[in-house]
Structure 1
């Protein structure tokens, strides 16, 4: 019989990491967004571990993803996650429910919270210009495409480019997969709905008009679409 997430997680820690310094339960089961296929995300801190590692297994009726760190190895992950603007580990630590703590969790949670509150590095004008060009190029490809298989792949690229552009130009963290919509909703529920409806209409019917309007709205405050005059690496 499947056990409650918190009970299964505590049993897992007791069985597999009894000497750890701290353990947190994170992910969808904690945030209230769990589905029938959700797993348990457990973060372990153990000063006796020589290096960090990740492992997947099934125990106590649950698929479990465990992320094991010593008291230093998590720091480079914090940094790299923030550099790519997808703070996976800081978010897990910040939101995680404490399963065990020998007095170290508060400081690590504070580190994570400070990074999350700071937000990602601000995009430069040159990066924004580059992204405008890539979005313009993808939209033009979509509008001109007549092969349905190609249209789908171009649209997939455009969903990623548009969500990234909106979030980064507004100083917000980005996400991938299911986290795209979650991060957009955290930023602006109304925009997230427009984004969803525009692409949903295209995927269902092939109608590209709403996607084009969405892109125009997104790029307009930054100068609109960009093609003519764009260059990379040209000598002045």
Structure 2
């Protein structure tokens, strides 16, 4: 394990940018450090904008006592990342740009930040009725497996899949951004604190005690306004 000998995150980000991208047109420090959510293992997320680059890339390095993840864009590539992030409803780069603290600016950052903020405020595209129907079917399939499973080792992983599908369904049917890993619960809390607490409690109860009832009631309540569980009559590609 590396010896911790850190300078401040902002100073480290500025020095890193100065040393490696002295001629960049814009730079931001983003991530958990900026949000005030840093832990002992948090790294620095730095976004670079440089018109001289032919293509975007991502790199991980260790400098100034910090793990640093650098996301390097030119002045057109970021638009494609914005677009793809929005299409998958996981606005990783727009969120970093929106929340980021400006380290370097040649006069472009206000416009790029506005692009990011506008996308975040708009939310993802609305799901079609057919997409909702398909998602209901996939949830039902996993849900039935969860209810019927009697092998503890298997039902743990079925529950993991169910939690991902249900969280996505709740967020997307409300035109909210989704996430993975820690961003699942963060996205749910951004949408509805009360429901997020219910969601955590239901799965936490199952993981601790094996009691599935709270999960079953919650999932049925979520599906009910859309027609409930779906199996009979569903087809795909027919």
Q: 2:129 aligns with which of 111, 122, 125?
A: 125
Q: How far did residue 207 of structure 1 move?
A: 0.9
TM-score by length of 2: 0.96
Is 1:210 equivalent to 2:214 in the alignment?
yes
Q: Deviations over 1:182-224 (max 9, x none)?
A: 0000000000000001001111111111110110111111111
Match of 2:32 among 16, 28, 31: 28
Matching of residue 74 in structure 1 with residue 73 in structure 2: no
Tell me by how many angstroms 1:49 deviates.
1.1
Q: Once the two structures are superposed, what CA deviation does each residue of 1:19-57 show, in whole Å capped at 9, x if it has no partner?
A: 111100001111111111110000000111111100001
Moved over 3 A (4+): none
In the alignment, which of 74, 80, 87 is matched to residue 83 of structure 1? 87
Pairwise CA distance, 1:233: 2.7
Written as runs of structure 1 = structure 2, the 5 A alignment for 1:74-223 is 74-223=78-227
SS at match of 2:68: strand
Cα distance in 2, alignment partners of residues 22 and 2 from structure 1: 24
Residue by residue over 1:156-187, the C-alpha shift from the partner in whole angstroms, topping out at 9 and shown as x without a partner, is 10010000000000010000000000000000
Residue by residue over 1:115-146, the C-alpha shift from the partner in whole angstroms, topping out at 9 and shown as x without a partner, is 11111010011111111111111111011111
Task: Report Cα offsets for 1:76-123 as digits up to 9, x if no partner.
Answer: 100000000001001100111001101000111111111111110100
SS at match of 1:175: coil
1:33-52 matches, within 5 Å, as 33-52=37-56
- Consecutive unaligned residues of structure 1, counting only runs of 5 or more, are none
Q: How many residues align?
A: 234
Range with greater deviation from structure 2 (144-153 or 180-189): 144-153
Unmatched 5+ stretches in structure 2? none
Three-state SS of the structure 2 residue aligned to 1:155 is: helix
TM-score, structure 1 normalization: 0.97
Aligned residue number for residue 55 of structure 1: 59
Query: What do you get for the CA RMSD once the two structures are aligned?
Result: 0.8
